[in-house]
Each structure stands twice: as structure tokens, then as C-alpha cells.
Amino acid sequence: MSIAETDGTVRARAVDAVTAAKRGLTLALLGYGASIGLSVLAWLSITLIPLGIGALTTPPVMRWVRAYADHRRRLAKEWAGIAIPTAYAPPPAALRTGGEGMVDRTMALVRDPATWRDLRWLSVDVVAGSAVAVLAPGLLAEGVFGVLLLTGLWQPIVAASDGWWYGFVPVTGWATAAAAALLGCGWLALALRYNPALIRTHFRIVNAQLAPSAEQLLARRVEKLTETRRDAVDTSAAELRRIERDLHDGAQARLVAMGMDLSTIEMLLDTDPAKARALLAQARRNSVDALGELRDLVRGIHPPVLAERGLGDAVRALALRLPIATEVTVELPGRADAPVESAAYFAVSEVLTNAVKHADAELIRVDLHHADGSLRIAVTDDGRGGARVGAGSGLAGVERRLGTFDGVLAVSSPAGGPTMVTMEIPCVLS
């Protein structure tokens, strides 16, 4: 290895060590501050449940705890490349629609195993997690301090104390200060070598406490699949009723009227040809209208452009019909299965409809691409924001539709905008 390469390697390790020290200090401060505070609040709130006070305080406190745990999960992914899964049980249906009281909401939280995992992690984070994290800045600071002793820093320290030790080195003069500086170089060497590993170790501790077991993940997966299957059945039944209603009220009524006109024409052909011709023209108009309604109905079930040209062109055609300027970017090297394309198309359609109706936007952007085995769609508008997934909203229906295919929906919509709705469906392209 050349001198330049060696210098570059040392510099890179120094940067990594300093970065890890900064992160370790941040994590230690979080552990000794937020973890202690939230742990005390959570346990105090839970112990007050029998008195009724805890029923009011536990839900908001646990929301803070979960938000804090999710923040640590994000840091684990960004700083150590460790993905920590979540398995929070969804609230009962009545809670999602606001049909239950605070006591039931609190008991749902208490029964959730993830709640106790979070509380256990808070306690461990205060002790083991913070202790490991603080070693990274500690090694670096101790090493720098030891080296600085050789500049004469030892003199005022020794003068102010009756014998002073740096680690296991008694500092009494320049010679022992040099020995202390040598020890400081050793601490710096350890920091260069192990600081990043200490941060990874911290997040392994977090993962060990926060990650659900394989059995719990499987149980949560089964619950989610059961729920999405039920939603899919309900959606299919509702769609079938809509199709029956549209056929009955639209095309069927026109076809019945056309049949009656043809019967009348049959009787008038010999006695009143002029009236028969007028009825024939009316029957022709009814047939054209019925055909148009049938086409619209089929388009609502599965748009022809989607079947013929794929999701990208179908979304572009959808955007052309909007009264708001819409930009569509498509990077799809192939096509997904027809059910996935259909779900994605109608999900985008619902999100665009919401943006037109409620966002008061001037521009909408739609981005479709495939990466890491998933179809990813982002719909962004520059409207007033405030969109959220909740009972009765169109986005809740989109979430259920995507859930049928193990897809997910994420919404970022601060007050004042902009709004970004991100959808992801696991699939392969052919």
C-alpha cells in the first residue's frame, strides 16, 4: 500500500471515528434524557390506570413512546444499516372509527405486547444502550486529552491536586506526561478502530429489545392478511353491488325500452310507417346510449387502456382528463400482473380525485417506478395539505386496496402543503 493510500485510509478512519463519536454522544444524551423521562412517564401513567387518571394519560404517553422508538429505528437504519421491524397491533375497528372510549383505548394498548417491548427497551437504553454509546465519544475525548497533556496541560492539574493519575499513569513531570500522552494515543487508536463498532453494538441492543420475535411477526402477518382478505371480500361485494345497480338503472333500462320500442314498431310498420321510423331512430339512440354506458361500466371495472398499454399509459390518460396540470413520470421496464396494475391504477385514481376535490392545488406530479422488487408510486400536489388516513376518507380505502397485495401507503401532508402520498406494492415485472 502506498503512502497516499495509507494516509487516505487513516483519514477515512478518523472521519468515521469522529462521526461515530458525535452519534454516540447524541444517543447517550437521548438515553439519559428522553429514555429516562418517557420511561418514568409511561410507568407512572400505567400505575395510575386503576385510579382512572391513567386511562386519560396512557394513550398520549404511549404515542410519544412509539414515536420515540420509531425515531430510534430510523437512526438504526441510517447510521448502522440495521432494519428493526415493528409489530404494533392495530387498534380495534371501533377505535379506528371513534366508537370506543378512552378506557378501551388504554386497555388495547396494555394488551399489546409491543407496548411492553417498548417499555423494556427504554429501561435497557438508559443503562446498557447509553453506556455503549457514550464509550465512542469517551474514547475520543480521553485520547485527545491525554495527548494535550504533553503541551503542558498537566502542570496546572498536578499543581491543583495532591497527586494526579491519568488512567494508570501517575503524572508528576514531563516524563510521566509523555507516558500519559502515549496512553492517550492508545485511546485514540482504540477510537479509530472501534468507535463505529460501538455504534453498531448500541443498535444491536436496540434491535434485541424492540424487534418482535419470529412468532409475533408471523402472528401479526396472519392478522394483517386476515384483515386485508376481509377488506378485499367486502370491497368485491360492494363493487359487485355497484355493477348490478349500474346495469339495472342504466343499460338494462335502455335495453328494455328499446325492446318495447321494437315491439311497437312491429305493430306500426303497416299502419303508421312515419311513426315507426321515428321510433326506429329512438331505438337506435337508445342502443348507442346503452353501448356507451356499458363501455363506461367496463372502463370502471378494468379500463381498456390499462389492459392494452399498461399502467404507465393508463395513468397518463387519467391525468389528461384532470382539470389540474398534472405531470406523469414513468420508469417501468415491464408490466406487473393484471390485478396489481388494476389496484395501482384505481389507487392513483382515488388519490388524484382527492387532490382535485380537496387540495386546491395548481400542479400535481405522479412518479411511477419499480425498485427493490416493489412498484412505487408517489403522488405530490402543491395544495393546502392536511390530508390524513382516517375512517371515512378516500385514503383509507386506498390503504385497504393496497393491503390486499401486501402494499403500504404513507402520507406526508403538513398544514399548508405540499402533500405527498406514497404507495408501494411488492411485485415483479415481466
From first to last of its 430 residues, the chain has per-residue pLDDT tens of: 554 445 557 788 888 888 989 999 999 999 888 999 999 999 999 998 888 888 888 889 999 999 999 999 999 989 988 888 887 876 655 444 444 567 778 888 888 888 899 999 999 999 888 889 999 999 998 888 888 888 888 788 887 877 788 888 888 888 888 888 899 899 888 988 889 999 999 999 999 888 887 776 676 666 666 666 666 556 556 656 666 665 655 556 666 666 777 777 777 777 777 777 777 777 777 777 666 666 655 555 566 777 788 888 888 888 888 888 889 999 988 888 888 888 888 888 888 888 888 878 888 999 999 988 889 999 998 888 877 776 555 677 788 778 778 788 888 888 887 888 899 988 888 7
Pair (100, 242) in one structural domain: no
For residue 95, what pLDDT is reported?
47
Pair (64, 173) in one structural domain: yes
Task: Tell me how many domains the chain contains.
Answer: 3
Pair (191, 335) in one structural domain: no
The DSSP element (H or E) to which 379 belongs, if any, is: strand 374-381
Pair (110, 167) in one structural domain: yes
For residue 22, what pLDDT is reported?
92
In terms of residue numbers, what domain contains 84? Answer: 3-210
Q: Which of 301, 322, 351 is the last residue of a domain?
A: 301
227 lies in some domain: no
172 lies in some domain: yes
Pair (349, 327) in one structural domain: yes
Pair (313, 258) in one structural domain: no
Pair (171, 73) in one structural domain: yes
Pair (318, 290) in one structural domain: no
- Reference 13, options 204, 191, 209; nearest CA is 191
Pair (181, 132) in one structural domain: yes
- Give the list of residues 6+ apart from residue 18 with CB closer than 8 angstroms, or none: 140
- Any idea which residue has 411492553 for its cell? 116
For residue 254, what pLDDT is reported?
65
Q: How many CB atoms lie within 10 A of CB 10?
A: 11
Pair (132, 30) in one structural domain: yes
- Give the list of residues 6+ apart from residue 269 with CB closer than 8 angstroms, or none: 276
Q: How many CB atoms lie within 10 A of CB 300?
A: 14
For residue 323, what pLDDT is reported?
84
Report the CATH number that the domain containing residue 325 is assigned in CATH.
3.30.565.10
Asked whether 154 and 126 are in contact (CB, 8 A), the reply is: no
